[in-house]
Structure 1
């Protein structure tokens, strides 16, 4: 399977209730066309550019789209066995670097009618690195509160950016949805 499509499928399953909610509601393509991409019957490299760009815009921030290229290269160089682990690790490394430079952590609350809403226990956080008026890099993570951890310690991110950075460094590995 094409590495880009593998990443797209992973993100669709992570962000949306179902694949259908993505390919039918968001992209307007048929189930048959989607299944052909999944089985490899239709080469993903033959997808229309406009459809591919829409997929990437729906699933990734522009900064994360750049990181997908790094993840694919890392797998091609045999630094990782699969593109999903490579993307996750690269994204996490960039998030730490961004936070060390003073990036902020923002909680992204789901809005009513959001088809992507998975479960009540899943929240989205954005690491936002503002480099200038027109240059903002954003890396998005989903976090889920595991039942094995005390809820009061992880349900809410602490207030204040310094406290959030400390929380990220301490607890993030325990609550991230990969």
Structure 2
């Protein structure tokens, strides 16, 4: 198993779920032993479980994960900290999209069920940055998970979301976890 992938997946789980167990038990339906063996690279996961892991990310983010994993094989600095590389690229691309004027920024509504909501991390705001290419189903998205108070601050201060984004988002912005 590519350890860069494992590290990035663990970061995404930490961002989105109350615990690793909430993810591997409730989402993947596997035992702690199977999860630990996957993390150590001793065994793989079924195709359907790898698909569920990919759902931790948008399609665009999943493509970025694959690129970081590939680069980790060849570049020691990426292999040393793939999570940092992934987060840096995610924020960098989001900022480029926003500054170019082609992106839409909005807070994402939570569409999860009550059962799934109990597993999700509370007090997190998801900022969705998307680019639409005017072809059906071709839309790239990056989601930034931020502390929940951010959305309240922007709405209370009636500040423009793009203005706030440009003032506050850089590669070192603290994540929600």
Category of TM-score, reference length = shorter chain? 0.7 to 0.9
Structure 2 partner of 1:168: 165
The 2-side partners of 1:176 and 1:64 are apart by 16
Aligned length: 165
> For 1:22-50, what per-residue CA distance to the aligned partner results, in whole angstroms no more than 9, with x for missing partners?
1111111112211222344x24xx32222
Report what 2:105 is aligned to: 105
Aligned residue for 1:11, secondary structure, equals helix
Question: What are the within-5 Å matches in structure 2 for residues 1-178 of structure 1?
Answer: 2-40=3-41, 42-43=42-43, 46-57=44-55, 59-75=56-72, 76-80=74-78, 81-99=80-98, 100-110=100-110, 113=114, 114-120=117-123, 122-132=124-134, 133-144=136-147, 155-157=152-154, 163-173=160-170, 174-177=173-176
> Structure 2: where are the runs of 5+ without partners?
none
More helix by share: 2
Q: What displacement does 1:175 show?
A: 5.0
Q: Is the 8 A contact 1:74 1:86 kept in 2?
A: no
Structure 1, unaligned runs of 5 or more: 146-150
Q: Taking structure 1 as the reference length, what is the TM-score of the superposition?
A: 0.79
Instruction: List per-residue Cα deviations over 1:127-163 (Å, max 9, x = no partner).
Output: 0111123211110011116xxxxx7x8633359xx92
